């Protein structure tokens, strides 16, 4: 957990995982600060030793109760109506065994306080299973005029740690680019393009499990998803 958040962004250094670069550093007892807040309703978030990229600590998130609205995430309030927003994080979902196509949860959101059409997350990254029970990344973004005012895509995840980066642009073409285990800026893994002009800019971001489906709550309870090295910026590619 050595990487600080918002390296260049100018969003302000919230340094969510920026505790220490030494692999022997002691982990903090909780995520706040540097995160702005945490939500652990029917879930648990914890900073534990053992980062994912030679770092010292990581964030663990798990859903512990089968209740609607269960969540276990941290929140960064640093963004302020950002029309462009980039973020990167590492995620490991190996503990979710047999993740099925009806088991899903949000793991990252870039959200506006000026939503449109009932959609607040201008970017929503989720995990879900496919028909074969393999973990897959779900990607969703604001798309006015499309069903539900969203566009979606999916991308396979690999076993172990996955690196996910997003670049959102209000009025952009494409409006969302995503890199999965890919640190080459010119060759994003997937892109979505929709009219997102009716939404406000990004006002906060969340990282951790949220909005678990009923199937996830019953089938993946108490199983941990790990996160590390969150970083966010306004414009420049984060990469490795």
Partner 1 sequence: MNKLAVAIAGLLVVSSSAWAQTCETPTRLFAGETITGNTCDGENTLPNYGGTDSPQAELVYYFDNEDASGDFVFAHTGTAFGGGMFLMPSPCSNATDPISFGNSDNPMPANNLAAGGTPLVNGTRYFVIVTADPGGPADACGPFSLTAPDPLPVELQSFSVD
- Which residues contribute to the site for partner 1 (CB under 8 A)? 100-102, 104-106, 126, 128-132, 134, 136, 138-140, 143, 146-148, 150-154, 156, 211-216, 218
Judged by CB, which is closer to partner 1: 99, or 161? 99
For partner 1, which is the closer residue by CB, 11 or 139?
139
Rounded least distance, CB 59 to partner 1, Å: 20
- Could you give the 3-state DSSP secondary structure of residue 142? strand
Residue 44 CB, nearest approach to partner 1 (Å) = 20
CB 191 within 8 A of CB 55: no
Alpha carbons 121 and 60: distance in angstroms, whole number: 22
Which CB sits closer to partner 1, 36 or 154? Answer: 154
Tell the smallest beta-carbon distance from residue 188 to partner 1 (Å). Answer: 15
Please, what is the minimum distance in Å from the beta carbon of residue 132 to partner 1?
A: 8
193, burial (CB in 10 Å: exposed 0-12, middle 13-18, buried 19+): middle
Alpha helices in the chain (DSSP H): 214-219
Measured distance CA(106)–CA(136) in Å, rounded: 12
Phi, psi for 219 (deg, rounded to 5): -95, -20
Q: Cis peptide before 33, with omega less than 30 degrees from 0?
A: yes
- Measured in degrees and rounded to the nearest 5, phi and psi for residue 175 equal -85, -20
What's the closest the beta carbon of residue 82 comes to partner 1, in angstroms?
A: 23
d(CA 105, CA 10): 30
Nearer to partner 1, 59 or 127 (CB): 127
Closest CB to partner 1 among 28 and 138? Answer: 138
Can you tell me whether residue 88 is helix, strand or coil? strand
Smallest gap from Cβ 211 to partner 1, in A, equals 6
By beta-carbon proximity to partner 1, the closer residue of 174 and 215 is 215
């Amino acid at each position: 957990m050595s990487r600080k958040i918002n390296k260049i962004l100018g969003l302000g250094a919230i340094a969510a995982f920026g505790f220490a670069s030494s692999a022997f550093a002691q982990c903090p007892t909780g995520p706040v600060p540097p995160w702005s807040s945490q939500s652990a309703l029917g879930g648990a978030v914890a900073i534990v030793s053992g980062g994912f990229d030679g770092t010292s600590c990581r964030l663990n998130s798990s859903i512990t109760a089968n209740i609607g609205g269960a969540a276990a995430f941290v929140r960064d309030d640093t963004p302020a109506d950002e029309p462009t927003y980039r973020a990167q994080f590492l995620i490991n979902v190996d503990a979710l065994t047999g993740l099925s196509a009806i088991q899903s949860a949000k793991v990252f959101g870039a959200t506006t306080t000026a939503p449109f059409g009932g959609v607040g997350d201008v970017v929503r990254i989720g995990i879900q299973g496919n028909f074969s029970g393999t973990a897959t990344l779900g990607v969703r973004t604001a798309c006015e005029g499309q069903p539900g005012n969203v566009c979606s895509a999916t991308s396979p995840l690999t076993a172990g740690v996955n690196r996910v980066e997003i670049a959102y642009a209000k009025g952009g073409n494409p409006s969302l680019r995503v890199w999965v285990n890919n640190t080459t800026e010119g060759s994003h893994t997937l892109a979505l393009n929709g009219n997102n002009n009716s939404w406000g800019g990004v006002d906060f971001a969340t990282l951790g499990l949220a909005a678990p489906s009923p199937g996830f709550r019953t089938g993946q309870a108490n199983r941990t998803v790990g996160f590390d090295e969150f970083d966010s910026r306004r414009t420049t590619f984060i990469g490795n």
